[in-house]
């Protein structure tokens, strides 16, 4: 499940697939709130909408656009709050929650971290075999987020799992206690710096 957080329009996209296979389109949409509502009510509406999407599709992963600082602080704050709601929904269900930057998503789909929304939308349509890019752009961006995690995040998770298997389970202090003492040296549980 990809989420493009926004307070007025929060894009949601669902794809299915595995690493090394072409993703399949499942669903796309937008959770909308009215600027006329009080801010807490807008956040509540987004939480309810995202929860409905989550409950309907039961995704294994929730991938969310990582919020970056812009000049308009109130906008960034609202977007960050929506991203937090999406993270909470995934974490509460015990699912993997991932964050990918806009540049990472653009690069994954188009090969350029500087691509515009039209290019990203066109590539989403091409990758998923759709007739046209989903509209509005928030919906296409949510699908792009899901595709990026499938392509990149899954691989990164496999690397992390492989590295964790290779990582020694003995701490440095445990190692020092087990290491044979050399003549003329004394091994203690303290590390020297």
Alpha carbon distance, N-terminus to C-terminus of the chain: 46
- Residue 65 annotated as catalytic: yes
CA distance 86 to 63: 9
- Residue 141 annotated as catalytic: no
Q: Among 16, 55, 138, 141, which one carries the catalytic annotation? A: 138
- Residue 52 annotated as catalytic: no
Q: Among 52, 65, 116, 141, which one carries the catalytic annotation? A: 65
Which tokens sit at 93?
């269900």
119: exposed, middle or buried (C-beta count within 10 Å: 0-12, 13-18, 19+)?
A: middle
Q: Is the separation of the CB atoms in 1 and 106 below 8 Å?
A: no
Q: Among 4, 16, 55, 141, which one carries the catalytic annotation? A: 4
Q: Which sequence positions are flagged as catalytic?
A: 4, 65, 138
């Amino acid at each position: 499940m990809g989420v493009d957080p926004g307070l007025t329009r929060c894009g949601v996209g669902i794809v299915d697939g595995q690493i090394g296979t072409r993703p399949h389109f499942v669903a796309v949409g937008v959770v909308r709130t009215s600027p006329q509502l009080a801010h807490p009510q807008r956040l509540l509406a987004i939480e309810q909408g995202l929860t409905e999407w989550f409950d309907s599709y039961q995704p294994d992963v929730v991938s969310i656009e990582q919020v970056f600082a812009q000049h308009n602080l109130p906008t960034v704050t609202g977007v960050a709050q929506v991203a937090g709601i999406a993270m909470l929904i995934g974490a509460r269900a015990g699912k993997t929650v991932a964050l990918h930057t806009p540049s990472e998503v653009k690069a994954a789909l188009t090969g350029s971290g500087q691509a515009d929304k039209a290019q990203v939308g066109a590539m989403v349509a091409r990758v998923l075999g759709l007739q046209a890019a989903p509209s509005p752009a928030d919906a296409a961006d949510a699908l792009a987020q899901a595709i990026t995690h499938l392509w990149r995040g899954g691989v990164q998770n496999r690397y992390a799992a492989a590295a964790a298997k290779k990582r020694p389970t003995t701490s440095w202090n445990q190692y020092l206690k087990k290491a044979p003492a050399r003549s003329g040296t004394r091994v203690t549980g303290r590390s020297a710096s």
